[in-house]
C-alpha cells in the first residue's frame, strides 16, 4: 500500500503505453509530506466493504430511516404539484 486515503492531492491514471498506474500530484508536496489519494466518493459502508476501513472524512451511508424520511418528503412534495 503506497497511497494513504486522505484529502485529494493526487489523481491516478492508467498509462497503456507503459502498462502502469501513474499517480500525478494535483497540489504541491513538501519533502517528507504524506502522499494521499481519495479512493472514492462512496459512503462508509461501501468504503469498508471495498477497502476494509473507513475514515472521518467519509460520509456515513443513509439508514433505512433516512430513506423513509426522504421518501415521505418527496411524496408530500409531489402531492403539492
Q: What is the pLDDT of residues 2-45, one digit of tens each?
A: 788 888 889 889 999 999 999 999 999 899 888 888 888 999 99
pLDDT of residue 15: 95
Four-residue CA torsion sign, 42, 43, 46, 48 = positive
* Angle at 62 (CA atoms; ends 73, 53), nearest 5 degrees: 170
> Which pTM value belongs to this model?
0.63
pLDDT of residue 20: 96
> Closest Cα to residue 42, out of 24, 64, 57, 63?
57
Amino acid at each position: 500500500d503506497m497511497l494513504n486515503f486522505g484529502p485529494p492531492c493526487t489523481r491516478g491514471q492508467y498509462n497503456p503505453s507503459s502498462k502502469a498506474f501513474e499517480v500525478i500530484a494535483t497540489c504541491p508536496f513538501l519533502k517528507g509530506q504524506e502522499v494521499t489519494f481519495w479512493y472514492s466518493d462512496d459512503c462508509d459502508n461501501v468504503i469498508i466493504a471495498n477497502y476494509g476501513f473507513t475514515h472521518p472524512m467519509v460520509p456515513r451511508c443513509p439508514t433505512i430511516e433516512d430513506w423513509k424520511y426522504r421518501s415521505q418528503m418527496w411524496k408530500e412534495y409531489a402531492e403539492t404539484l
